[in-house]
């Protein structure tokens, strides 16, 4: 075990760099996420937030730098191996198993918690059936937790947008994360949905899950975060408490341009492209 | 409970067929159809549940057929001028298991090499593999007799040697054996599909990045599907070989793979009953047409029917029927919660 100062560090990102050809999307990014906190990663469109998520969760090979979670090195691992360490992410672009019911979506998310091997399944051992039963109960609990209990039998693709976003979180929670990475979870939600999402985030936190959040909704970011890291053109320009961030002149400058662009564009279509 | 009763009833109904059918030729058609259904069930695990198209699936069928034939017949191989490897004939049950095992091992190899890239690559690897195996069967005459075929393959036997033995010369026991293995294949695929393994496969088919984000190991589950699928196809090949008792390199013809694919797609890929329904239709239909139409007309009817099914029921017959049934139920007593329906099914 490392010294005390390190002990409450869950995720350590050290000098992370990601290049796409000539473009440096993430540039020597260094920050920590502490156990049990909610840390928000914010920044204007194209700042490199999603790219950082992709690198942390194994969807992209970084061009340089280190990423460690609870002493384990994440660089070079596959996404599923990273999930097995308890690091689970959601996607910016809504991503559910569209052809499956909400209930089955969550069952699929429970994959990691199940232990049956292929042979046990093929031979139909009794333990398979009992585990299946437990998992079905778990799936129900998770659906209820995100408030989709009544939607269990709807197809994922048939749910309204806001509920699909909740289902994504349910799938991720089912995978038993100790660190949950949420990429713009409330984009496209209306204000009341956003408000209840914020409450849910509090509940998630009470479960002892550390949260790394990417979000454009500043009201939410300032409301839920313990700390905020601000990214602009791939580099961190500020790192501090919400109050500090709000007063930081660099951040204000970076965001002023952003707000103008946002109102002109009027919607999220372009960002998803 | 309900579901189990229906299932037992259906199996008993099929099991009773030889008792009242009274026509051995029809029974023969049902046996070959059953063998194809097993192959289609195995293909469906790959094509339907993982979404990977194996266009060389007949290779596993043929490998099962040849392996089981050779192990039961025994063979000599002149390895050097002075040394000949002699393999003594083994009992059929043992050769049958060898066929399954060897087909599964080949499936494992194919899965390992092709799933790094997947998609079109898997299609190409499987096609090439089937062609390579066919050429081996055709040209390795010392072992396979090449185009002269392996003859006099022993039929299945049941019982304890010396005490009491039943040799499957007749059609009826072969029919029951095929039926039993159909049921077993169906049960295995159903167990997989309704478990974490099958859900992992479906998850990969539906949304691979999301599946991996919750810890699904892509390669592991695709290889698992290929191994089980190949072993099952190998079992179908073994049944075939000990039933017709002759096997030649034509078992590897591409048309057989195509037939399996048609069965799965028209029946409904990714459904448990799809390959059975599709298999029954496209197994029996050619024989039914044989009496009333010339070969060319047969093929035309066959083709037209397939196009019609795929055009009007793009998801296949079984999903179309399920949807129709659900809607009908829905109209009669509207807010019947789907919840209970589901619980009964499971
Ligand atoms: N796969 C890729 N290939 C090439 N360039 C990419 C790729 N992914 C992202 N980029 C570029 O990297 C930069 C960072 O993109 P990223 O998606 O990480 O931004 P973001 O901070 O998540 O923005 P947003 O708030 O709009 O989601 C952008 O300029 C983007 O165009
Ligand atoms: Mg983004």
Same domain? For A33 and A48 the reply is yes
Given an 8 Å threshold on Cβ–Cβ distance, is A83 in contact with B213? yes
**pLDDT above 60: residue B188:** yes
Interface residue A77 vs chain B (CB under 8 A): no
Given an 8 Å threshold on Cβ–Cβ distance, is A80 in contact with B215? yes
Q: How high is the pLDDT of residue B121?
A: 83
DSSP A101: B
Cα separation, A253 vs A32, in Å, equals: 24
Interface of A with B in 198-257 (CB under 8 A): none
CATH number, domain at A63?
3.40.50.300
Q: How high is the pLDDT of residue A217?
A: 87
Q: Which domain holds residue A115?
A: 97-158
Same domain? For A181 and A143 the reply is no
* Domain total of chain A: 2
**pLDDT above 90: residue B43:** yes
Tens of pLDDT, residue by residue over B290-339, are 777 777 777 787 778 878 887 888 888 888 888 888 887 765 544 434 43
CA angle A205, A133, A177 (to 5 degrees): 25
Interface residue A126 vs chain B (CB under 8 A): no
Same domain? For A116 and A57 the reply is no
CB atoms within 10 A of CB A77: 18
Same domain? For A193 and A245 the reply is yes
- Residue whose CB lies within 8 A of the most ligand 1 atoms, among A43, A50, A259, for a mutation test: A50
Which residue of B195, B206, B218 is in closest CB contact with A98?
A: B206
Same domain? For A67 and A114 the reply is no
Contacts within 8 Å (CB) and 24+ apart, B22-26: B24/B171
Same domain? For A184 and A151 the reply is no
Please tell me the residue having the least CA distance from ligand 1 atom 25: A45
Tens of pLDDT, residue by residue over A163-198, are 999 999 999 999 999 999 999 999 888 889 999 999
**pLDDT above 90: residue B27:** no
Report the Cα–Cα distance between both ends of chain B, in Å, rounded: 10
Same domain? For A140 and A262 the reply is no
Comparing B154 with B57, which gets the higher pLDDT? Answer: B57
**For the ranges B48-52, B100-104, B117-121, which has the lowest average pLDDT?**
B117-121
Does a structural domain hold residue A49? yes
Same domain? For A17 and A148 the reply is no
Mean per-residue pLDDT over chain B, rounded? 83
Q: How high is the pLDDT of residue A127?
A: 85
B218 contacts in A (CB within 8 Å)?
Answer: 80
**pLDDT above 60: residue B345:** no
Comparing B112 with B40, which gets the higher pLDDT? Answer: B40
Whether A57 is in the pocket of ligand 1, judged by its Cβ within 6 Å, is no
Interface of B with A in 230-289 (CB under 8 A): none
Q: Do B200 and B150 touch, CB atoms closer than 8 A?
A: no
Which is the closest atom of ligand 1 to the Cα of A26? Answer: 14
Q: How high is the pLDDT of residue B49?
A: 93
> Among candidates B316, B271, B270, which has minimal Cα distance to B47?
B270
- For chains A and B, CB pairs below 8 A equal 97
Given an 8 Å threshold on Cβ–Cβ distance, is B192 in contact with A118? yes
Cα separation, B62 vs B241, in Å, equals: 9
Shortest Cα distance, chain A CAs vs residue B218, angstroms? 8
Q: How high is the pLDDT of residue A202?
A: 92
| Beta partners for residue B87, in sequence order | B75
Interface residue A14 vs chain B (CB under 8 A): no
Given an 8 Å threshold on Cβ–Cβ distance, is A171 in contact with B210? yes
CA angle A39, A44, A48 (to 5 degrees): 70
Helix, strand, coil % (nearest 5) of chain A?
A: 45, 25, 30
Interface test with B, best of A82, A84, A111, A168 (most B CBs within 10 A): A111
Proportion of chain B above pLDDT 90, given as a percent: 33
**pLDDT above 90: residue B99:** yes
> Among candidates B13, B49, B31, which has minimal Cα distance to B188?
B49
Which residue of A109, A114, A121 is in closest CB contact with B191?
A: A121
What residue ranges of chain A have pLDDT lower than 70?
Answer: 1-7, 256-273
Tens of pLDDT, residue by residue over B301-313, are 777 887 888 788 8
Which is the closest atom of ligand 1 to the Cα of A216? Answer: 25
User: What is the predicted ipTM?
Assistant: 0.88
Whether A25 is in the pocket of ligand 1, judged by its Cβ within 6 Å, is yes
Same domain? For A259 and A187 the reply is yes
Q: How high is the pLDDT of residue B179?
A: 93
Same domain? For A197 and A262 the reply is yes
Does a structural domain hold residue A265? yes
Cα separation, B309 vs A231, in Å, equals: 55
Given an 8 Å threshold on Cβ–Cβ distance, is B192 in contact with A99? no
Rounded to the nearest angstrom, the distance between the alpha carbon of A15 and the centre of ligand 1 is 18
Rounded to the nearest angstrom, the distance between the alpha carbon of A82 and the centre of ligand 1 is 22
Among A105, A126, A158, the domain boundary falls at A158
Which is the closest atom of ligand 1 to the Cα of A234? Answer: 14
Whether A187 is in the pocket of ligand 1, judged by its Cβ within 6 Å, is no
Interface residue B202 vs chain A (CB under 8 A): yes
Tens of pLDDT, residue by residue over B241-289, are 999 888 888 888 888 888 888 889 888 888 999 899 999 988 888 777 7
């Amino acid at each position: 075990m490392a010294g005390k100062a390190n002990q409450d560090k869950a995720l350590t990102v050290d000098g992370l760099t990601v290049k796409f050809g000539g473009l440096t999307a993430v540039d020597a990014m260094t920050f920590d996420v502490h156990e049990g906190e909610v840390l928000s990663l914010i920044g204007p469109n194209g700042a490199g937030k999603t790219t950082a998520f992709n690198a942390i969760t194994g969807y992209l090979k970084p061009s340089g730098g280190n990423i460690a979670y609870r002493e384990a090195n994440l660089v070079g691992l596959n996404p599923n191996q990273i999930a097995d360490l308890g690091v689970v992410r959601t996607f910016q672009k809504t991503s559910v198993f569209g052809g499956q019911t909400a209930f089955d979506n969550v069952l699929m998310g429970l994959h990691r918690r199940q232990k049956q091997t292929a042979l046990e399944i093929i031979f139909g051992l009794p333990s398979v059936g009992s585990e299946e039963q437990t998992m079905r109960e778990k799936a129900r609990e998770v659906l209820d937790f995100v408030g989709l209990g009544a939607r269990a039998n709807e197809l994922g693709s048939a749910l309204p947008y806001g509920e699909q976003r909740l289902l994504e979180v349910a799938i991720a929670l089912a995978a038993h994360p100790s660190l949950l990475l949420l990429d713009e979870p409330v984009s496209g939600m209306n204000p009341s949905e956003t408000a209840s999402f914020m409450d849910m985030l509090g509940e998630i936190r009470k479960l002892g899950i550390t949260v790394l959040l990417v979000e454009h909704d500043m009201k939410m970011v300032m409301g839920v975060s313990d700390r905020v890291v601000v990214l602009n053109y791939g580099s961190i320009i500020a790192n501090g408490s919400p109050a500090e961030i709000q007063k930081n002149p660099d951040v204000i400058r970076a965001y002023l341009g952003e707000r103008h662009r946002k109102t002109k564009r009027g919607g999220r279509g372009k960002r998803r492209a | 409970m309900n579901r189990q009763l229906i299932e037992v009833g259906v199996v008993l109904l099929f099991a009773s067929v030889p008792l009242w059918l009274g026509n051995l030729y029809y029974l023969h058609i049902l046996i070959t159809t059953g063998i194809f259904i097993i192959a289609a069930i195995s293909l469906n695990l790959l094509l339907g549940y993982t979404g990977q198209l194996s266009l060389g699936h007949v290779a596993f069928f043929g490998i099962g057929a040849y392996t089981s034939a050779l192990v039961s017949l025994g063979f000599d191989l002149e390895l050097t001028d002075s040394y000949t490897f002699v393999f003594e004939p083994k009992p059929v049950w043992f050769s049958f298991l060898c066929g399954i095992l060897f087909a599964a091992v080949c499936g494992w190899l194919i899965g390992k090499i092709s799933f790094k890239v997947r998609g079109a690559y898997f299609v190409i690897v499987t096609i090439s593999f089937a062609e390579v195996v066919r050429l081996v069967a055709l040209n390795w005459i010392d072992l396979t007799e090449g185009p002269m075929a392996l003859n006099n393959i022993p039929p299945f036997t049941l019982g304890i040697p010396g005490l009491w033995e039943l040799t499957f010369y007749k059609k009826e026991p072969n029919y029951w054996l095929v039926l039993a293995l159909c049921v077993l294949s169906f049960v295995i695929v159903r167990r997989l599909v309704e478990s974490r393994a099958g859900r992992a496969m479906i998850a990969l088919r539906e949304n691979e990045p999301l599946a991996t984000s919750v810890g699904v190991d892509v390669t592991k589950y695709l290889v698992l599907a290929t191994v089980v699928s190949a072993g099952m196809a190998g079992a179908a090949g073994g049944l075939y070989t000990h039933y017709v008792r002759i096997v030649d390199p034509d078992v590897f013809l591409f048309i057989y793979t195509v037939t399996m694919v048609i069965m799965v797609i028209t029946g409904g890929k990714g459904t448990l009953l799809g390959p059975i329904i599709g298999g029954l239709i496209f197994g029996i239909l050619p024989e039914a047409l044989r009496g009333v139409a010339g070969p060319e007309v047969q093929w035309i009817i066959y083709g037209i029917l397939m196009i019609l099914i795929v055009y009007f029921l793009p998801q296949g017959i079984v999903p179309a029927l399920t949807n129709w049934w659900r809607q009908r139920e829905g109209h009669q007593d509207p807010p019947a919660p789907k919840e209970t329906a589901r619980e009964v099914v499971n």
